[in-house]
Chain A
Amino acid sequence: MKGKGFIDRHYKWVYTLPALFFVLILMVFPVCYTFGLSFTDWTLTSGKSISFTGLKSYITVLQEPRFWDAFKRTLEFTFWAVLFEVVLGIIIALLLNKQFKGKGIAKTLLLLPLVATPVAIGIVWTLFYDPTIGFLNYCLNLLGLPQSGWHTDAATVMPSLILVDVWQWTPMITIMVLAGLSGLSDEPYESATVDGANAWQILRHITLPMLMPTILTATVLRLIEALKTYDIIYSMTQGGPGYASETLNLLAYKYSFEYFRMGQSSVMLVFLFILVLVFSLAVMRIRKATEV
């Protein structure tokens, strides 16, 4: 031990220090700062300096119907988007797990939505959806079907946005499930075949239970991201028409950068943070319970 330098004696700390600093400065600090701001009345329109107002901003936000509408919309968007993504993702992964001609091309094509940037996707889909000069209504017109307002109609805006999210993120679930499938042991399948199980029974009683930890991990990741979705919605509708696609993230953004009510905006973000945390912990708990 004699003659060893400081770094050698404390290398486990020294090597983790940069990462620790990164987490503290770029992740912990903003969360704590936002939490702190939520107890203030900081508004740039008043011209006054920040003052501590306790729970006043919380009370104001909780009495705002727009907040609760956005809260419900966030849950609605997340539920449907993640549900479709997980179901479709598993089905596509199971299909891709079989051997067929052109499998490589199919996998590559499937990856394309995942590598595109969300804002670019938003712009492209906005052009597709445009009710007057868009491609989708042009197709509906050719088929003699009634046209839709897509993302410009309050009644259809949420399904339209969910469709874009599903289009972009289903491949992520597929890839994770495919990775899970490749790691499954052959033994249970051999035993099941010997016992005369059919394909459906094998899928239901062997494949899906064994894949469950992978599926739940993928679900947690998507859930966290879907709750926080901002880019696609902002680039396509900015929360409109009216407030029909305004989720918590968009409302908080609007309160910050259009209304300049930083205190109230921070309250919304605290709620979103808690929401994401609660959902993540709940799914992680379920995942732990299903681990074999």
Chain B
Amino acid sequence: MKRFLLALLIVLLSFSLFAQGATETKPEEIRVMLANHPYGDLLKEKIPEFEAEYGIKVNYEQLQESQLSQALATEFATASSTVDVFMTRPLQEGLMFIKNNWYSSLADYDFADYPQSTVDIGTKNGVPYIVPLVTEWQVLYYRKDLFKAAGISVPKTFDELKAAAAKLTTKDVAGFGSRGKGAAAVTQMSSYVYNFGGRYIQNGEAVFDSPEAIKAIRFYGEMLGNYGPQGVTSMSWENLMPVFQAGKLAMWTDASVFYGQIIDPEKTAIPKENIGIADLPAGPVDDSPFLVVSWGMAIANTSTHKDAAMKFITWATSQELALEGIKNNITMASNSAWKGASGLMNEELIATQAHAAANGYPYDRPFVTSVGAARDLIGEVIIESINTKGTSTKLEALAKEKVAAVNELLKTDGEYHNLPY
């Protein structure tokens, strides 16, 4: 029996030796981390085409955006990463990843097809690290049928927005929605701050306690407190979207990227023709919605397959795939994609892009390394404003306190009066 077992062991070991021989001819493998984003979904579908063309096996994972950031940071910080290529949010994690040397230089990548401002977001000391994938800007989604029934036209100014919200609010339908959940609301309130003439950060210093910014925060609180859906201080886009899709929201200001999802007949109860998309109304001082690079793609500095990773990133950001994105109403970052957009994408969406491209501001949050903590601090001011419908008597003092806290973060990170904007 013992002899039989010994013979069996030898045979099995021999197999494993042959198997070892077989691995030498195995195709090169790369690990790619994708986000739960329409473009991540598109890449997932197309990856078999890349594998067939280049003979490189792609092992991909797809995660929700904050989980993706956390997974990447954990792997990189603990020097245990096997990631080669990943989707990244330049404004959320770009500065921290650059500071920790987690991105690989993309100096060899051809950035000619991208607006310089979108490349600059992921560039430090002249070295580019991020290929811009998707841009987003703030828009107004609205219900054409409800507007028609109420006899009103699409608001062009904040005053008109307020009047429309008041008119459209009923027992069953909230007149106006936008993110109210603390940190998540910071990005969507940014355009309101800009249109009132304020900023979150200026000259490397927090300034959201300025009179202009305070007016914007009060207006945002007044709108959501009076006309927003119940529980709006707990709502980010993933909570507002189903409310809009269920027909319980008349107007919703959020990022342009959601258009494809809200007109998807499998997900929405409202016919496509009843859903409109328009520019964010102008404020009393400016008409400058955010226009940001929401997603980019990068190669991990620790990647041991940099050539294959470069092939993947070049393919994933190619003009052909960008046009596929446009066909799916994904707002791509490259110039050529927009040149070919007409006829492939909704014309109203294209018009909002043109408006944002001409007037937009390239940040939708405090573009600092400690962005997570800074967003929470600003979020506290937003929630106070919403809870009091914009009438809080302690809003100025609270904003001042949080400005001081954000400035402390900037000092700790060596960014106080030391930011390029």
Contact = CB atoms under 8 A, between A and B. Distances in A.
Given A133-B248, A259-B372, A47 B230 contact: no
Interface in A229-281: 237, 240-242, 254, 257-260, 262
Interface in B250-266: none
Nearest to A42: B77
Contacts of B242: 133
A257 B373 CA distance: 11
A133 B249 CA distance: 11
A132 B230 contact: yes
A46 B174 CA distance: 43
Contacts of B239: 130
A152 interface: yes
B99 A47 contact: yes
A152 B230 contact: yes
A44 B229 CA distance: 37
B233 A258 contact: no
Interface stretch (A21-29, A107-115, A143-151): A143-151
B66 A241 contact: no
Given A240-B181, A241-B182, A257-B73, A132 B100 contact: no
B412 interface: yes
Contacts of A43: 412
* Most A-side CB within 10 Å, residue of B69, B99, B100, B230: B230
A131 interface: yes
Contacts of A69: none
Interface in B199-230: 229-230
B291 to A, nearest CB: 25
A259 B376 CA distance: 10
A201 to B, nearest CB: 49
Interface string B54-74: 000000000000100110011
Nearest to B173: A132
A258 B248 contact: no
Interface string A122-153: 00000000111100000000000001011111
A240 B234 contact: yes
Contacts of B380: 242
Interface in B62-121: 66, 69-70, 73-74, 77, 96, 99-100
A241 B234 contact: yes
Given A131-B231, A237-B234, A258 B174 contact: no
A141 to B, nearest CB: 10
Contacts of B99: 45-47
Contacts of A130: 231, 239
Interface string B317-349: 000000000000000000000000000000000
A161 to B, nearest CB: 12
Contacts of A133: 242-243, 246, 248
A149 B376 CA distance: 22
Contacts of B69: 257
- Chain B contact residues, majority secondary structure: helix
A47 B231 contact: no
A241 B370 contact: no
A154 B182 CA distance: 13
Given A132-B174, A132-B243, A258-B66, A47 B235 contact: no
Contacts of B383: 241-242
* Most B-side CB within 10 Å, residue of A237, A242, A257: A242
Contacts of B373: 258-259
A153 B231 contact: yes
B138 interface: no
B135 interface: no
Contacts of A240: 181-182, 233-234
A131 B379 CA distance: 21
B418 to A, nearest CB: 13
Contacts of B294: none
Contacts of A154: 233, 387
A241 B182 CA distance: 8
Contacts of A46: 99, 369, 412-414
Contact of B231 (A44, A152, A259): A152
Nearest to B172: A132
A259 B370 contact: yes
Contact of B96 (A45, A131, A149): A45
Nearest to A242: B383
A151 B412 CA distance: 35
Contact of B73 (A47, A242, A260): A260
A150 B242 CA distance: 18
A45 B70 contact: no
Given A132-B174, A132-B229, A132-B248, A45 B73 contact: no
Nearest to A41: B412
Contact of A44 (B96, B181, B232): B96
Interface string A150-184: 11111000000000000000000000000000000
B287 to A, nearest CB: 31
Interface of B: 66, 69-70, 73-74, 77, 96, 99-100, 174, 181-182, 229-235, 239, 242-243, 246, 248, 369-370, 372-373, 376, 379-380, 383, 387, 412-414
**Closest CB pairs A-B (n = 5):** A152-B231, A47-B99, A152-B234, A131-B230, A258-B372
7 contacts: A44-B96, A46-B414, A47-B99, A47-B100, A133-B243, A150-B231, A154-B387
